[in-house]
Structure 1
């Protein structure tokens, strides 16, 4: 075995520079992820002007219905490989063949269900869309363990570049297809091309190759761990998808399209950063699983820093959502901007709720994570049903309120085994939450009164600048929260010196 491959299978050990490595990896990941988001937004701008809202709605119906499938394929084994203290190449081979087999099985099930999907929604166009989407599930099973080994060695920059390459290729093909007049097929081709490119890039970046599998007790233990992880992720993904499933059943495809594009803008600006930090946070904290005191300390510092930078982005996005959407996607998408102004508020509490996985996985308690996923699904269903009679806006408010109510309890439950309580969470995110809420409230007032007659671009710049300054005045000026700025500055200086 070469040294490059052997590095993937080294035992987890606590190191003196773990915090710095994790922060550096997190910053690099987020920077690349936002580069990815810029590509996604460029694609959204171009495709929104070339395609109709109905095109987006048709594809959204299928992708939301099948959004659980990649989670079944992963089966939690990506997290199991990254979290495990010791692992062998033969064991990873066993997990690889499990993921690949599940990918093929899920693709067959989705393809066989395509006539049923078309019948339920009364639109025959959904059947061929579902058949093409099924291809991505086969491809997904071929990359999970390669990406897990890269995450295990904290090569987050390389992971980000792989994802960026896939997004770029899919975007280019989608735009070309839309210009050629293929309509919604441009949106169908996009994930297929991206998946093909990710497979090629992941196998090129990670030189490990699967061999004969081993299914010993350790592998069985990892599969059990993965079962709990996939239990959470399926429940959580369904909780995120239930809004569009319900809207698709009761409202026209164009209404689903508005909601879907609003959600796309939120996910590319807020959720993508949180998702990237999940990989960094869980991988780094897993190396501290034998030292609960250090784990609590590092978790608090990481959560505080993430909240410091993400919460104001959510507040600014909420205030400027309509102007951002119209400027990016065109006047016909103004309804999506109104929805985004509501959905973006979720980012303030999403920072807290999204970090629960760091604790569950680093402590090896995926079973508790699964339990919480089921609870969050129940809360989300109630929230969506409460808002559904009021249309897409009512559903958006239901989602935001439901997420906000369970944010703090999610961390108290996840951190219970190592004594994380309300005081730690308040210390970590209290000032940032107050600053973000104050910035959003003042920004809305400014938008509706003093700036209502201004051009969209000028209003966007003035509102965004006002919200950012108010946030810093509250968090830094009043609460004296300067540590995240100091740490970020130190990491950036270190990164520049190394460059």
Structure 2
């Protein structure tokens, strides 16, 4: 028994030490990153599917007003999680060398930040209720603020899992937490608790993330060490959180504006359209950042290799994600009504516009890989401020045209800032507009082509078909046309071969 205990202890120590190994360049880094990314994305799509199932059930049990009320709290406090983590999770993931004492310091800082943000958020509940002229927002804010305290406790454990590229473990945590949150929300909605089901869902999920991250990450916090490296990581985190706050406010400003000038049900329609978009498109972009940052960080000392790996990764991501965004735009109305019910047809019309944003956000989202892997979060922060300014002007211009005008404005912003965001991020290592166009040009032409052709098909031929027939016909037509353009005309088949090769590797490994 003692021997087994000793062996178990030794293995636990080895696992813990792996979190603090120095970043090193390995020969198969690209394949390892892609393999981890594929596994993670598959599980993330499973997670997205689970969330979608929850959204479908809740949309049929609750009203657009219920969703609108909770959406107002979510968008107003959307920057709060960034203040909790303070960018220290990204600092941990990309740092070349870290020690247990330094991570302990960051852990206690994040934990304290979570508690402080939760208390401050709860205190602002009456003010939020007053601004949006709805007293129900006060109790909602008070209860939902508990989530922030949980986020601080799990931040560094999740960062260590990212640092060691354990993307499968991260995905398991996220899927499990989503499942628990959905079960809690559906049960409460079924018993008539209304919008409180949406309030308690993220609380239950955040608690599960704490439990899962502490279970799968063997590191445990100890006494903090405040040395020069910790101070450097906190400065790094300060710039990351600067971008994150600005960017998340920019993402939320559309719903904040709608909440100030329109009824809660209008916000509810827009929120569910945005949620469907996030489950299908932003989910992948966010996961690509989680995979790309620690992978490219290992190449910081070799700018040429970093540039090449970035171009290849962007090409693969655009190959698969741009057409998904276009197809979602074409089929948005049918999919939304089919999943959520006829009462959500307005959300379907909005999703058809919002989904087109994903074609360009594939490029814009990749800027994070460069800023963080190059150790320049200060420039990332600067770009976040630019994004916020442009988004704010666009939303103000679109508000007079209602939610449709706001949705169209966000698509225009995504188009305008896509290439400039990457050129600004990677200019120091020779990444320019020509490289971006070379990486995504055929995919962009193909996606825009099937967007136009798909809508033409819907209007001219499929308008009288039932949705269950119209959806698969549209998907098949758009997929065939995309492959014809990208693979047939431009001869771009590399991403298919690469993903197929990695998939075969995974099957052999298993």
Q: How does 1:161-176 map to 2 (within 5 A)?
A: 161-176=172-187
Post-superposition offset of 1:133: 1.2
Select which of 259, 284, 290 maps to 2:270: 259
Select which of 264, 284, 300 maps to 1:289: 300
CA RMSD of aligned residues (A): 0.6
Select which of 240, 248, 251 maps to 1:229: 240
Give the match for residue 126 of structure 2: 115
Matched, 1:360 2:397: no
List runs of 5+ in structure 1 lacking aligned partners: none
Q: How does 1:20-419 map to 2 (within 5 A)?
A: 20-419=31-430
- Partner SS for 2:172: helix
Post-superposition offset of 1:51: 0.3
Give the match for residue 491 of structure 2: 480
Post-superposition offset of 1:297: 0.4
Matched, 1:420 2:434: no
Select which of 443, 461, 473 maps to 1:450: 461
> Structure 1 residue runs of 4+, over 4 Å off?
none
Post-superposition offset of 1:19: 0.4
Give the match for residue 9 of structure 1: 20
Select which of 474, 478, 482 maps to 1:471: 482
Post-superposition offset of 1:120: 1.1
Deviations 1:139-169 (A, max 9, x none): 0000110001000000001001101110000
TM-score, normalisation: structure 1 = 1.00
Select which of 459, 465, 473 maps to 1:462: 473
The whole-number CA distance in structure 2 between the counterparts of 1:442 and 1:488 is: 27
The whole-number CA distance in structure 2 between the counterparts of 1:371 and 1:82 is: 21
The whole-number CA distance in structure 2 between the counterparts of 1:91 and 1:275 is: 26
Deviations 1:31-82 (A, max 9, x none): 0110011011101110000001000000000111011100110100000001
The whole-number CA distance in structure 1 between the counterparts of 2:316 and 2:25 is: 21
Deviations 1:213-257 (A, max 9, x none): 011000000000000000001000000000000000000000000
Post-superposition offset of 1:422: 1.3
- Partner SS for 2:179: helix
Deviations 1:354-387 (A, max 9, x none): 0000000000000000000000000100110111
Post-superposition offset of 1:122: 1.4
The whole-number CA distance in structure 1 between the counterparts of 2:256 and 2:107 is: 32
Give the match for residue 9 of structure 2: none
- Partner SS for 1:104: helix
Post-superposition offset of 1:463: 0.7
TM-score, normalisation: structure 2 = 0.97
The whole-number CA distance in structure 2 between the counterparts of 1:405 and 1:419 is: 21
Post-superposition offset of 1:174: 0.3
Deviations 1:116-135 (A, max 9, x none): 11111111111111011110
Post-superposition offset of 1:106: 0.6
The whole-number CA distance in structure 2 between the counterparts of 1:194 and 1:345 is: 30
Post-superposition offset of 1:450: 0.3
Stretch moving more, 415-424 or 184-193: 415-424
The whole-number CA distance in structure 2 between the counterparts of 1:120 and 1:315 is: 37
The whole-number CA distance in structure 2 between the counterparts of 1:240 and 1:120 is: 20
